[in-house]
Chain A
Amino acid sequence: MTQQHPPRALRWALRCHPAAYRARHEAELTAIYAEVTRGAGRLGRLREAFDIAGHGLRQRTGLGSDRTAGQILAQAAPSAIAVAAGGSVVNLLWLFAPGVRTLSWSSFPEAVVLADQVLVPLLWLAALAGAWTGRWTAARTLAVPATVLRLADVPLLLLAHPGGQPAYPAAVLSLMVPLLTGAVVLAAPRDLLGPCRHRHAAIAGAGALAVLLWGAQFCNLYYALPGGPRAVHTLWAGALALALLLSGRDRPAAAGLAVALLPTAVQMTVPLLYPLSPAGALALLALLIGAAVSVLRARRHRAGATPPSAA
């Protein structure tokens, strides 16, 4: 390989970088790619090119590890996996709960839906184990099929119930949650992810919160909770508002939790709007205040321009 003719995969990967960055680093990246992939197979070369492309896309979107957004994503990724794992495990209860179950293994399309629903929590739990132990390559690889299978929920349900009319807003929200969760996990800069003991508390906390809130919604089926399902929706909004209020540059874990909770919290908050109850209005107000405080705090820090953390 020569400098004039880099392989196609590398050329595509380099194109992901902003032009100015590419002009400064293309020769260097090409040289390192050549050294690193010497003797490597096709898969090894593709992995290396994929990693360079990821770096380029993060540079382009301002999500590099040298940017605050990238640092927050790195905090959010473990919590996002924990929330997804917690949610998908509780989701199984819905599918197999006596008196609730509507899908049968005997019908082929429904069996596909059920298999999908069983596989997703297993994948997220395996990803969670990877994140917990710092095996981030495995965790992120597992997050891809988990996200794709979750995205397949809506089409599979339509397949199982061909005559059913899909509720489009709910379907869009159902697609948005796995899409955003997967994006958070995959977009987090790899060099800020690793075995780090202080993240265990964040993972455990986020997972417990998800299980608690989804569990409360499930319990509402059998034991009517005060306020019904809207109370649980309000709790999701409240949890996000609290995380936003606590988040700041010196408290990146709270900012990470807010990002991790955001997809599900949005999904849960939308039903509070129709019709808008006093509790829903209060939750929305708390969310708006939390978001405003978070933005103002970020602006104040930018104005102060304190040096970033070394971690």
Chain B
Amino acid sequence: MSDRPLQEPTLLLLTALADEPRHGYGLIQEIEAISQGRVRIRTGTLYGALDRLLQQGLIQVEREEVVDGRARKVYALAEEGRRALAAETQRLRAVVAEAERRMAARRVLAVRPKGAPA
């Protein structure tokens, strides 16, 4: 597993699968919701990412089903994917905590009167 941060589409896809397995269109909708409408992944791009994540063992096909006469696959997070998502979440949490600490420190400096002891 690489130590590099996950690309945003990868992170969003793994996050969308973190709570329950989903089919392709469900993933597109979920990614749009998670990113608050900022990321709208297209069908070809989604399948490129799914092919890659399947090949990397981060996700798996949980089942195939037929809805309205159309076959579709339902994808689920694999154990390796859960580990990758947990590691990325931990990394992001550390960055957020550090950003908040520094912003709070700046606020304290801003309200301290001139000449007051540090």
A, B in one complex? yes
Distance in angstroms between the alpha carbons of A41 and B28 in the assembled complex: 19
Please state if B70 and A65 are interface contacts (CB–CB under 8 Å).
no
Cβ contacts under 8 Å, B46 to chain A: 32, 191
Closest Cβ neighbor of B40 among chain A residues: A36
Name the residue of chain B whose CB is nearest to the CB of A31: B70
Nearest CB in chain B to that of A192: its residue = B7
Cα of A266 to Cα of B106 in the assembled complex, Å: 52
B57 touches A307 (CB 8 A): yes
In Å, the complex CA distance between A43 and B54 comes to 31
Residues of B within 8 A of A55 (CB): 43-45, 47-48
Bound CA span A310–B77, Å: 13
Bitwise interface map of B from 1 to 38 toward A, beta carbon under 8 Å scored 1, else 0: 11011111110000000000000110010000000000
Contact between chains at A51 and B44 (CB < 8 Å): yes
For A190, list chain B residues within 8 Å (CB). Answer: 9, 42, 44-45, 48
Interface residue tally for chain B (C-beta within 8 Å): 36
Q: Is B51 an interface residue (CB 8 A)?
A: yes
Q: A residues engaging B (CB < 8 A)?
A: 3, 13, 25, 27-33, 35-36, 47-48, 51-56, 58-59, 64-66, 134, 189-198, 307-311
- Shortest CB distance B51–A (Å): 5
Count A-B contacts at CB 8 Å.
121
Q: Does B76 touch A at the CB level, under 8 Å?
A: no
The answer to whether A36 and B28 touch across the interface, beta carbons within 8 angstroms, is yes
Q: Looking at the complex, which one of B25, B54, B58, B68 makes contact with A32 (CB distance below 8 Å)?
A: B25
- With a cutoff of 8 Å between Cβ atoms, the chain A residues found around residue B56 in the complex are 66, 307-310
A contact patch SS: helix
Distance A104 CA – B84 CA, assembled complex (angstroms): 59
Quick one: given A27-B72, A30-B70, A32-B24, are A310 and B48 in contact (CB under 8 Å)? Answer: no
Q: Given the interface contacts A311-B5, A311-B7, does A64 sit within 8 Å of B58 by beta carbon?
A: no
Residues of A with C-beta under 8 A to B52: 64-66, 189, 191-192
A residues in contact with B70, CB < 8 Å: 3, 27-28, 30-31
Q: Is A66 within 8 A of B84, CB to CB?
A: no
- B71 within 8 Å of A by Cβ? yes
Between B4, B48, B70, the greatest number of chain A beta carbons within 10 A of the residue's beta carbon is seen for B48
Q: How far is the CB of A137 from chain B (nearest CB, A)?
A: 9
Contact B71 A66 (CB under 8 A): no
28 contacts between A and B (CB under 8 A): A3-B69, A27-B70, A28-B24, A31-B67, A36-B25, A36-B43, A52-B42, A55-B47, A56-B44, A58-B48, A64-B51, A64-B52, A66-B48, A189-B45, A191-B9, A191-B46, A191-B52, A192-B7, A192-B52, A194-B9, A195-B8, A196-B8, A197-B5, A198-B4, A198-B5, A309-B2, A310-B56, A311-B4
